[in-house]
Amino acid sequence: MDKWRYKLAVLLVGCGIVLHAGNAFDRTCIPCHRREQVALRSTFMHALLVYSGHENMKAGLKYFLRHPRRDSAVMEESFFATHPLHPPLSLDDATLDQALEIYWKRYTVQGKLH
């Protein structure tokens, strides 16, 4: 009986780790962008051109992700001929802020060029 409980405990902990592995960006953003075949790097570069900075970009993307509209998107109008406008994200503010910060850190070149 003790071996059974131990195996069950290990299984439950393992499942918990797998289900909660990664972060909000990896769990929420990447799967959708892969499914829609939209490169995160290109959307980052478009957003950087529009918002031109870390804090402006995070604030602008956060607003857009909560209230998506074609006229406030960073992508060109032609983009929407082949890709749908996503529905509003229902992530809480802290989780969305975390995802946007990870997005910034992964795709910015600031401090990465030598």
Number of folded domains in the chain? 1
Let me know if residue 73 belongs to a domain.
Answer: yes
4 occurs within a structural domain: no
pLDDT at position 91 is 93
Residue 62 near residue 109 (C-beta atoms within 8 A): no
pLDDT of residue 12: 45
Residue 9 lies in a domain: no
Q: Does residue 84 contact residue 25 with C-beta atoms inside 8 Å?
A: no
Let me know: does 88 contact 66? Beta carbons within 8 Å. yes
Residue 66 lies in a domain: yes
Instruction: Please tell me the predicted confidence (pLDDT) of residue 21.
Output: 56
Q: Could you tell me the residue range of the domain that residue 87 belongs to?
A: 23-107
What pLDDT sits at residue 6?
A: 47
- pTM of the predicted protein model: 0.75
In a domain, 80, yes or no: yes
Determine, yes or no, domain membership for 10.
no
Domain presence at residue 15? no
Q: Is residue 48 part of a domain?
A: yes
8 Å CB contact between 100 and 61: yes
Per-block mean pLDDT, blocks of 10 residues, the chain (114 long): 49 44 90 94 94 95 96 92 91 96 91 60
Q: What pLDDT is stored for residue 3 in this prediction? A: 58
Q: What is the pLDDT of residue 94?
A: 95
